């Protein structure tokens, strides 16, 4: 959906945080007003220490504001109903070890379901289904602790999806993943979105953000300093500079090659289309003969 219309509907998650101060006195974020709406993928971008993880961890009440409020599905979250926030907002941590607790992968994915009273056989069936969704069915008998970083991330995602949350939050989902697994995670995010689950990801990979996001929020020094569609954000040089970010490759290549960027290409597929159109216009290449396997 268009980010411009995002504010017209009741958000799934609505966070107002005047400040979050860590025990050592560091202010992790301040003056943040952040919502997640139905049917959207939001990418949170920003330099190291900008406050992305701090913000994400507020979305399911892992962290709470010094002053402010978290509202999930219209319900204000307090000490007493944090479990509701955790169920509605599934969190895939960057450090997957924090969420893998059981002796085998299958047990681990079943764990949350069993906590909610789902019986053994039913929990097993649903856990297997969730593992298959993230292409990790072959790992079910493995010991979580010994999985590779990328495998842990996929199993963590299965453990979240199996609980059928309304929002999935992923902190740096591509960190440490090989290119094949990165494409798989991007695909899974699109699939989760198609199934009606909203997604929030933090990432340093702006190409990935351009590929998957409906809305990009830019953080700097603990604050959300700008947001918009990928095109709006990735052609806003002043905003990117403020957050110490460089535009995604498609933007840089289009500019460096002196292409007409009035269509604001932000993805590889956009760039290929622009090149194909230009080649067709100059009569050198038949339109459509260039291909881009990365796009959808």
Ligand X SMILES: Nc1ncnc2c1ncn2[C@@H]1O[C@H](COP(=O)(O)OP(=O)(O)OP(=O)(O)O)[C@@H](O)[C@H]1O
The one segment of 43-51, 60-68, 146-154, 207-215 that binds ligand X by CB under 6 A? 43-51
Q: Is 51 in the site for ligand X (CB under 6 A)?
A: yes
Q: Is 173 in the site for ligand X (CB under 6 A)?
A: no
The one segment of 19-27, 66-74, 248-256, 271-279 that binds ligand X by CB under 6 A? 19-27
The one segment of 24-32, 64-72, 115-123, 272-280 that binds ligand X by CB under 6 A? 24-32
Q: Torsion angle, CA of 71/27/45/88, rounded to 10 degrees?
A: -20
Structure tokens at 220: 């700097």
Runs of H (alpha helix) within 35-178:
52-58, 82-88, 105-115, 120-133, 149-161
Q: Is 79 in the site for ligand X (CB under 6 A)?
A: no
Q: Is 182 in the site for ligand X (CB under 6 A)?
A: no
CB of 52 to ligand X, least distance (A): 3
Structure tokens at 182: 């990165």
Q: Is 28 in the site for ligand X (CB under 6 A)?
A: yes
CB of 245 to ligand X, least distance (A): 11
Residues sharing a CB contact under 8 Å with residue 62, sequence separation 6 or more, in sequence order: 91
Indicate the SS3 state at residue 13: strand
Q: Is 293 in the site for ligand X (CB under 6 A)?
A: no
- Specify the residue, 53 or 229, whose C-beta has the smaller distance to ligand X: 53
Residue among 2, 48, 256, 262 that touches ligand X (CB under 6 A): 48
- Specify the residue, 48 or 282, whose C-beta has the smaller distance to ligand X: 48
Distance, CA of 210 to CA of 201 (rounded, Å): 12
Q: Are 55 and 33 in contact (CB under 8 A)?
A: no
Q: Is 53 in the site for ligand X (CB under 6 A)?
A: yes
Which conformational region is residue 131 in: left (phi greater than 0), alpha (psi within -120 to 50 degrees), or beta? alpha
String of contacts with ligand X for each residue 230-269, x by CB under 6 A? ----------------------------------------
Q: Is 54 in the site for ligand X (CB under 6 A)?
A: yes
What are residue 200's DSSP bridge partners?
42, 169
Backbone angles phi, psi at 59, to 5 degrees: -75, -20
- Specify the residue, 110 or 212, whose C-beta has the smaller distance to ligand X: 212
Q: Is 50 in the site for ligand X (CB under 6 A)?
A: yes
Determine the angle formed by the axes of helices 268-282 and 249-256, rounding to 10 degrees.
30
- DSSP code of 98? G
CB of 56 to ligand X, least distance (A): 8
CB of 222 to ligand X, least distance (A): 6
Q: Is the dihedral of CA 80, 84, 86, 87 positive or negative?
A: positive
Residues sharing a CB contact under 8 Å with residue 196, sequence separation 6 or more, in sequence order: 38, 39
CB of 78 to ligand X, least distance (A): 23
Binding site residues, ligand X, CB under 6 A: 22, 24, 26, 28, 46, 48-54
């Amino acid at each position: 959906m268009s980010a411009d219309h995002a504010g017209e509907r009741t958000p799934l998650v609505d966070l107002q945080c005047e400040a979050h101060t860590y025990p050592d006195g560091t202010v992790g974020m301040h003056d943040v007003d952040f919502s997640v709406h139905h049917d959207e993928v939001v990418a949170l971008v920003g330099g190291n220490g900008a406050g992305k993880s701090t913000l994400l961890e507020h979305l399911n009440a892992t962290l709470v504001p010094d002053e402010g409020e978290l509202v999930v599905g219209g319900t204000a979250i307090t000490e007493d109903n944090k479990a509701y926030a955790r169920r509605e907002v599934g969190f895939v941590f960057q450090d997957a070890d924090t969420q893998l607790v059981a002796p085998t992968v299958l047990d681990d994915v079943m764990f949350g379901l069993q906590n909610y009273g789902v019986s053994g056989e039913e929990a097993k069936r649903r856990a297997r289904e969730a593992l298959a969704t993230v292409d990790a069915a072959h790992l079910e008998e493995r010991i979580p602790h010994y999985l590779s970083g990328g495998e842990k991330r996929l199993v963590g995602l299965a453990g979240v999806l199996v609980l059928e949350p309304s929002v999935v939050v992923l902190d740096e989902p591509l960190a440490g993943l090989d290119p094949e697994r990165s494409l798989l995670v991007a695909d899974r995010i699109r699939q989760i979105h198609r199934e009606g689950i909203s997604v929030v990801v933090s990432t340093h990979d702006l190409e990935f953000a351009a590929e998957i996001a409906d809305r990009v929020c830019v953080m700097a020094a603990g604050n959300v300093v700008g947001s918009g569609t990928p095109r709006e954000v990735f052609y806003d040089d002043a905003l990117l500079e403020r957050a110490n970010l460089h535009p995604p490759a498609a933007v840089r290549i289009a500019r460096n090659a002196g292409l007409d960027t009035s269509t604001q290409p932000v993805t590889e597929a956009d760039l290929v289309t622009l090149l194909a159109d230009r080649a067709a216009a100059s009569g050198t290449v038949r339109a459509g003969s260039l291909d881009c396997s990365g796009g959808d």
